[in-house]
Amino acid sequence: MERYAQTLSAAGIDDLAAAGSEHVTGHLAALRADGLAASSAARAMSAVRGLHKFAAREGLTGADVAAEVRPPAPPKRLPKALDVDQVTRLLATGDDSPLGLRGRALLEFLYGTGARISEAVGADVDDLDLAGEPAAVLHGKGGRTRVVPVGAYARAAVEAYLVRGRPALVANGSGTPAIFLNARGGRLSRQSAWTILHRAAEAAGLPVDGPAAVSPHTLRHSYATHLLDGGADVRVVQELLGHASVTTTQVYTLVTVDRLREVYATAHPRAR
């Protein structure tokens, strides 16, 4: 707030009631001109907005002149994506026990369909059609349902689990229709799915802590990024991911462009 007081003082204002929206906007511009990050400027402006809101509510000023001044939006963070070799290492973990088969099937399903973790654990056996052209029905956000293809690797892993793993688990429960079961025969929870991925990531030597930690959504990000890297149309990827707007999907194109820049910078003789 001391910085804002200096801004007002420089404008010849010693009474908050004399400040206008132009002074609030000017303060924000000054913060950004000084190189303050968008997130830091947003925090500083939150304090300024709170001051004016309080002053207006207490009758110290005639109006809240900061109400219409919006803090800067932080830059959109690019989704984390594994490269193909990392995904391969991750999906190679597990064993042939019922729980090992379940873990491998779950990870192959997440990466092979781009499903959200809630969609994977919420899927039932009847949502799968592994004959002919394999596909899965996913029940997404807002009650939206979509059909996505299931790749050969995911199909093989899920079939192995359904034949050699799931029967042993379902015998411990009361016959839930869920594809992915816990050790007691009930529907696998999101938290348990996280644990499965966490252990697989550790076994594969991938990060499990910090900002680069592998999460179920990492496989969804990797699915979209690898599709776009392979030449898939962004609107097709939008449908596969179940995004209501293509603008949501377009964030992945930033990842692929960034990778193209890396390739260009290392491969082109006049790139540097």
Of 172, 167, 200, which is closest to residue 186 (Cα–Cα)? Answer: 172
Active site members = 116, 141, 217, 220, 243, 252
What local confidence, expressed as pLDDT, does residue 71 receive?
Answer: 80
Q: Give CA–CA dist 147/113, Å, rounded.
A: 10
* Domains delineated in the chain: 2-57 (no CATH), 84-265 (1.10.443.10)
Report helix, strand or coil for 190. Answer: helix
The answer to whether the CB of 197 falls within 8 A of the CB of 65 is no
Q: Which amino acid is at 100?
A: G
Q: Give CA–CA dist 198/208, Å, rounded.
A: 6
Neighbours of 229 (CB within 10 A): 16
Per-residue model confidence as pLDDT tens for the chain (272 residues): 788 888 888 889 888 999 999 999 998 888 888 888 888 888 888 999 999 999 999 899 988 999 888 887 766 666 678 999 999 999 999 899 999 999 999 999 999 999 999 999 999 999 999 988 999 999 988 788 999 999 999 999 999 999 999 999 999 998 899 999 999 999 999 999 999 999 999 999 998 888 788 988 899 999 999 998 888 888 888 989 888 788 778 777 776 777 667 767 777 676 66
Q: Give CA–CA dist 66/48, Å, rounded.
A: 8
Q: Give CA–CA dist 202/103, Å, rounded.
A: 14
Phi first, then psi: give them for residue 74, nearest 5 degrees.
Answer: -65, 150
Angle formed at CA 154 by CA 187 and CA 157, multiple of 5 degrees: 70
What local confidence, expressed as pLDDT, does residue 259 receive?
Answer: 67
In the sheet that holds 128-129, the strands lie side by side as: 128-129, 135-139, 145-149
Q: Which two tokens stand for residue 227?
A: 């599709």
Q: Which amino acid is at 170?
A: V
What local confidence, expressed as pLDDT, does residue 77 receive?
Answer: 66
Reported for 93-100, long-range contacts at CB under 8 A and 24+ positions apart, including other chains, are 93/199, 93/200, 93/203, 93/204, 94/200, 96/164, 97/165, 98/164, 98/165, 98/166, 98/168, 98/169, 99/165, 99/169, 99/183, 100/165
What local confidence, expressed as pLDDT, does residue 31 receive?
Answer: 86
DSSP-assigned letters across all residues of 26-75: HHHHHHHHTT--HHHHHHHHHHHHHHHHHHHHTTSSSS-TTTT-PPPPPP
Q: Which two tokens stand for residue 39?
A: 């997130």
Question: Is the pTM higher than 0.85?
Answer: no
